[in-house]
Chains A and B, each alone.
Chain A
Amino acid sequence: MSPFWKREKKSDAENIAEMQTASPPAAEAKTDAAPPEITVKPAEAEAEVKEMAAAKPKVLTAVMSGCTGCLISLTDNYDILLDLLDAIDYRYETTLADVRQIPDDQMDIAIVHGSICLQDKRQVDDIRKIRQNSTFLVAMGGCAGSGCVTRFSVGGQSATPSHESFVPVANLVKVDFALPGCPTGPEVIANTILAAVGADLEYLKPLAELAGFACGCDLLTKIIGNGLCIGCGTCAMACPTRAIDMAYGRPHVNQELCIKCGACYAQCPRSFEPTFEMIEKRVMGVE
Chain B
Amino acid sequence: MVLGKYSDIMTVKTTDKTLQKYSQDGGIASALLIHALETGVIEGAIVAMPTDEPWNPEPYVATTPEEIVAAAGTKYVLCPLNNALKIAARENGLDKIGMVGMHCLTYAVRKMQLYPFGARHLPNKMALLIGIFCTENFSYTGIKAIVEELHKVNIEHVQKMDVSKGKMIVTSNMGERVEVPVKLTHNYVQPGCYICPDLTARTADISTGSIGSPDGWSTVMPRTKVGKDLFQSAVDMGLFETKPIDPGKTGMEMLTKLAQNKWDRSEKTRAERAEIGLPNPF
**A residues apposed to B, CB below 8 Å:** 3, 5, 73, 76, 179-181, 183-188, 191, 203, 206, 209, 222, 226-234, 236-240, 246, 248-250, 261-264, 266-274, 276, 278-280, 282-286
**B110 with A283: CB separation less than 8 A:** yes
A-B contact pairs, 6 of them (CB 8 A): A227-B192, A231-B190, A234-B111, A249-B80, A267-B115, A284-B203
Please give the distance in Å from B69's CB to the nearest CB on chain A. 23
**A237 with B282: CB separation less than 8 A:** no
Tell whether A3 pairs with B279 under 8 Å between CB atoms, given A231-B80, A284-B224. Answer: no
**A249 with B190: CB separation less than 8 A:** yes
Interface residue? B104 (CB, 8 A): yes
**Segment from B134-142, B208-216, B245-253 that makes contact with A:** B134-142
User: Which residue in chain B gives the minimum CB-CB distance to A182?
Assistant: B118
Interface residue? B120 (CB, 8 A): yes
Q: Which residues does chain A contribute within 8 Å of B190, judged by CB atoms?
A: 229-231, 249
**B residues apposed to A, CB below 8 Å:** 4-5, 56, 59, 77-86, 101, 104-105, 107-124, 137, 139-141, 190-196, 202-203, 205, 223-225, 273, 278-279, 281-282
**A233 with B282: CB separation less than 8 A:** no
Please give the distance in Å from A171's CB to the nearest CB on chain B. 21
Q: Contacting B115 at CB < 8 Å: which of A222, A266, A286?
A: A266
**B115 with A274: CB separation less than 8 A:** yes
**A286 with B116: CB separation less than 8 A:** no
- For the A-B complex, the count of residue pairs with Cβ-Cβ distances under 8 Å equals 181
Q: Which residues does chain A contribute within 8 Å of B279, judged by CB atoms?
A: 222, 226
Q: Contacting A191 at CB < 8 Å: which of B107, B112, B115?
A: B115
Q: Which residues does chain B contribute within 8 Å of A231, judged by CB atoms?
A: 78-80, 137, 139, 190, 192
Q: Which residues does chain B contribute within 8 Å of A239, judged by CB atoms?
A: 118
Please give the distance in Å from B247's CB to the nearest CB on chain A. 23
Tell whether A233 pairs with B192 under 8 Å between CB atoms, given A187-B116, A191-B115, A269-B108. Answer: no
Q: Which residues does chain B contribute within 8 Å of A271, judged by CB atoms?
A: 281-282
Q: Which residues does chain A contribute within 8 Å of B141, judged by CB atoms?
A: 248
Q: Which residues does chain B contribute within 8 Å of A278, judged by CB atoms?
A: 114
**A284 with B80: CB separation less than 8 A:** no
Q: Which residues does chain A contribute within 8 Å of B59, judged by CB atoms?
A: 233
Q: Which residues does chain B contribute within 8 Å of A269, judged by CB atoms?
A: 104, 107-108, 111, 281
Q: Which residues does chain B contribute within 8 Å of A285, judged by CB atoms?
A: 224-225
**A284 with B223: CB separation less than 8 A:** yes
**B120 with A234: CB separation less than 8 A:** no
Q: Contacting B121 at CB < 8 Å: which of A186, A203, A206?
A: A186
Highest count of chain B CB atoms <10 Å: which of A186, A222, A239, A249: A249
Q: Which residues does chain B contribute within 8 Å of A270, judged by CB atoms?
A: 192, 281
Please give the distance in Å from A11's CB to the nearest CB on chain B. 23
